[in-house]
């Protein structure tokens, strides 16, 4: 209970910080959001016209995926650049706790844009989008996005400059969401999807007939990436501390 109260204070502080940033730079936020909406709608329309109708649902949450995946590493790099990393490192919160709260704030701020894209896609592209699976996709996006984001944050701690790698990862994710089609979710495709990042979103978004097996596979995919995130982040964090890399910024 004490820990939850402690985390609540940190989350509130991060929300206030983000709201202050939005208040200071409203045009930047509006411009980025508008650009994302237009680009994603164009991609959705193109994919839909190609006949990959099931891919539309996953693409709706793609901006949220990018935000959640990039928040831990980008905020860590920002702390390093402006010289506040030492304060974060020496605070009563762990780096992981700070990055987790920042990711939750990103998720909250991404929700309005995600639902705008959903409404526009449902109105202009495909009126048959089911809102029940979409609510599950939002949940899986949150969990998987934070999991992948913490792995990327660990890479920043060890290698520091990894922007080009991140760009490749984001392109690979877009390729995954555009070109993994599910006119038929065969067994081998389900097995592959269980292992890749955000496979749970593809499984639910692409599945025409959502069975308990699909839900189980989605939960399994998410569990795998939670485990990988925890393990890889811990390994990279401990390595960066022991090797002194955290003090080289």
Rounded Cα gap, residues 20 and 206, in angstroms: 39
* Contact assessment for residue 101 and residue 23, using Cβ atoms and an 8 Å cutoff: no
The two structure tokens encoding residue 86: 């030492």
Please report the pLDDT score of residue 223 as a whole number: 94
Q: How far is 24 from 181, CA to CA, in rounded Å?
A: 42
Count of CB atoms situated within 10 Å of the CB of 179? 11
Q: Which tokens hold the place of 208? A: 């025409």
pLDDT at 61: 87
> For residue range 13-53, what is the model confidence (pLDDT) as tens digits?
888 888 888 888 788 888 888 888 888 888 888 887 777 76
Residue count (the chain): 249
Q: What tokens does 156 get? A: 């920043």
Q: Dihedrals φ, ψ of 241, to 5°?
A: -70, -50
Q: Domain extents for the chain?
A: 2-247
Q: CA separation (Å) from 70 to 24, 150, 160? A: 22, 9, 14
The model's pTM:
0.86
Share of the chain above pLDDT 70, in %: 87
Q: Report how far residue 223's alpha carbon sits from residue 140's, in angstroms, rounded to the nearest whole number.
A: 10
Yes or no: say if 131 and 114 are a contact pair by the CB < 8 Å rule.
no
Which residue in 67, 71, 63 sits closest to 116, CA to CA?
63
Q: What is the mean pLDDT of each run of 10 residues along the chain (249 residues)?
A: 74 85 81 85 82 75 89 86 75 87 92 90 78 81 93 87 79 78 59 82 69 83 94 92 67
Q: What is the pLDDT of residue 126?
A: 74
Q: What pLDDT sits at residue 2?
A: 66
CA distance 138 to 144: 10
Q: What per-residue confidence (pLDDT) applies to 233?
A: 93
């Amino acid at each position: 209970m004490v820990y939850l109260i402690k985390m609540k204070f940190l989350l509130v502080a991060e929300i206030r910080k983000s709201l202050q940033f939005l208040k200071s730079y409203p045009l930047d936020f509006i411009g980025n959001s508008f650009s994302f909406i237009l680009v994603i709608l164009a991609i959705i329309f193109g994919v839909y016209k190609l006949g990959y109708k099931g891919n539309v649902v996953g693409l709706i949450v793609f901006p949220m995926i990018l935000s959640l995946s990039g928040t831990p590493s980008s905020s860590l790099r920002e702390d390093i650049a402006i010289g506040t990393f030492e304060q974060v490192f020496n605070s009563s919160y762990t780096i992981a706790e700070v990055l987790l709260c920042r990711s939750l704030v990103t998720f909250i701020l991404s929700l309005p844009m995600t639902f705008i894209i959903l409404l526009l896609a449902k109105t202009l592209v495909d009126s048959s989008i089911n809102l029940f699976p979409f609510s599950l996709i939002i949940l899986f996006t949150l969990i998987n996005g934070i999991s992948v984001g913490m792995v990327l944050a660990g890479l920043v701690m060890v290698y520091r400059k990894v922007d080009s790698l991140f760009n490749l990862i984001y392109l690979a994710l877009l390729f995954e969401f555009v070109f993994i089609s599910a006119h038929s979710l065969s067994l081998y495709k389900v097995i592959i999807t269980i292992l890749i990042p955000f496979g749970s979103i593809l499984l639910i978004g692409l599945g025409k007939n959502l069975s308990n097996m699909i839900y189980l596979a989605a939960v399994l995919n998410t569990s795998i990436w939670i485990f990988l995130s925890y393990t890889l982040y811990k390994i990279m964090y401990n390595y960066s501390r022991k090797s002194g890399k955290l003090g080289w910024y």
